[in-house]
A and B are shown apart, each in its own frame.
Chain A
Amino acid sequence: MPLATPGGTKANVSPANLIDQPSDDTLVSRAVTISRSPEELYRFWRDFSNLAQIMDDIERIEVIDPVRSHWVVKGPGGKDVEWDSLVTEDVANRRIAWKAAEGAEIQNSGWVEFREGPEGRGTEVHALIAYDAPGGLFGRLIAKALQHEPNTQARRELRRFKQLMETGEVTTSEGPRGGKHAKKES
């Protein structure tokens, strides 16, 4: 629903983009347009085990039932961080929302929406992720240690999502280099 402020802003803008943040939560939002139908994008996302292909540091994602999934992420110092995630809203081809189950180390919730873009422009994918303050702080420490601020992470994940959906591949530039990485001459 559109945001309305006393200052007169009335537009479809995420609370993450407000100058005065509405709560202590860390909000991360990001939008990307993908040349695929909302149906295709929703289908990929709804099977959470697919997300390992586009996310960093995922050890594994186990889909337990339509509501509950178990996430294992590589944490700092080789220690894994695990939590259960629960689907809180599921509107076919349109919106998926989730939140971490009680007791998760990183308290987080979020949603993703697949909105029809203007004529011929594909689907606008919007995502919002919220990290609760205490867990959020811890989460940010973890993220910092991994050099992955939630922002950076969301940005990269949505880029990979677009790459995979549009091209069938996640783009990589890995390859040979010189210097100390150069092949030892025999």
Chain B
Amino acid sequence: MRALTWHGKHDVRVETVDDPKILRPRDIIIKVTSTAICGSDLHIYDSFIPSMLPGDILGHEFMGEVVEIGSGGSKDLKIGDRVVVPFNIACGNCRPCTTGQFSGCDNSNPADKADLSEVAYGHAVSGIFGYSHMTGGYAGGQAEYVRVPYSDVGPMKVPEGLSDEQVLFLSDIFPTGWMAAENCMIEAGDTVAVWGCGPVGQFAIRSAFLQGAAKVIAIDHHANRLALAAQAGAEVLNYHDVKVREALMEMTGGRGPDSCIDAVGMESHGFSPDNVIDAAKAAVRLATDRTHVLREVIMACRKGGHVSVPGVYGGITDKFPVGAFMEKGITMKTGQTHTQKYMTKLLGMVVEGKIDPTFVISHRLPLEQAAEGYKMFKDQQDEVTKVVLKTDWKEAA
């Protein structure tokens, strides 16, 4: 089959690799129809994610058709079903899974791969498709076929009449934006500030409104992305034009936002002094993450407010404003999304027309041109918000 593989910093290629096989009773094989490139993939593309090996197949946002079912047979799935697959792998049996904390699944990271995160984080993290060996070393979905383990738990059947593009983002960014807003514990009258108007930020903005926020303020430096946020009803700030913290205080009558969402993560842009130091340290591998936005959300948030961090971090940092965090009594919630917990509910909202997730797509390409897609998504963020890759370009066109 054809698949997008990683070979080093800014070096990804579409090449021919073996087809995946059923290896366990609960496995299925999916023939991918649509797959997307995520901001998380950019962290790999930019070599910020450790434990990548040349030849790893990327991609964790994908959907397609069931073409093979293991002997353990998914009760609910049959050959030919169209499914969308959550980016994180969950067994459905362990305590995290049975209590809805799917991204904390104890069992989906193979025993030999789990050592890495146990050493780095104190506990082994769960498996994610196409996202380094620390998260399991699974082949990803930017490919023609994917093996999906524990298939009776993750994949969700797509009702007839819905296009790929309407449901593809249930695999990650829509639930991620939704959980980011949920972690804000929004109450009537709340103002939510969102840093980063990439796909995750866009869904966080819309989710915050759907969850009852009175006002959403969105921050980025790409005019196109700010415009998309404004379309959803957000007030938008370009941090190249405006002193962000001062503007936020003014726009909230001196209270500060009730909740602040960091939808940027470890590769914050810009030339603020702390960011430049972080970037220099990251270059020499002293501190791995650029945490400028994380610092800013804590400083901006009102006393007793909520800080929600869907943005991905992987290493360590310094200059963490621990005083502001403690003295203001801030609650911080974060984590990889418990995708499985939200998919059915959010599908319902798509069916009811409460949200049309296709708004975020700016570009469509055949899988063959996936490497170009990465380059565009990385270098032309002022034009590109989300790239969807199609395996059957003729059929899609």
Interface residue ranges, A against B (CB under 8 Å): 33, 35, 121-122, 152, 155-157, 159-160, 162-163, 166-183, 185
Contact = CB atoms under 8 A, between A and B. Distances in A.
A176 B3 contact: yes
10 contacts: A155-B118, A160-B111, A163-B91, A166-B91, A166-B106, A169-B149, A171-B149, A174-B23, A178-B5, A179-B5
Contact of A176 (B17, B115, B124): B17
Nearest to A117: B95
B138 A173 contact: yes
A160 B150 CA distance: 15
Interface in B346-368: none
B159 interface: no
Given A173-B138, A174-B23, A183-B16, A156 B55 contact: no
Given A162-B107, A163-B107, A183-B18, A175 B138 contact: yes
Given A156-B112, A173-B137, A168 B72 contact: yes
Interface on chain A toward B: helix, strand, loop, or mixed SS?
Answer: loop
Contact of B17 (A122, A160, A168, A183): A183
A180 B98 CA distance: 40
Most buried by B among A33, A163, A171, A177: A171
B95 A159 contact: no
Interface in B7-56: 7, 13, 15-21, 23-26, 53-56
Given A162-B106, A168-B25, A175 B111 contact: no
A178 B72 contact: no
B162 interface: no
A171 B127 contact: yes
B67 interface: no
Given A163-B107, A178-B7, A178-B13, 11 more contacts: A155-B115, A167-B26, A167-B91, A167-B92, A169-B24, A169-B26, A172-B110, A175-B21, A175-B138, A178-B55, A183-B17
Interface string B85-119: 00000011111001000000011111111110010
Nearest to B25: A169
Contacts of B234: none
A166 B54 CA distance: 33
A177 B127 contact: no
B60 interface: no
A67 to B, nearest CB: 29
B72 A121 contact: no
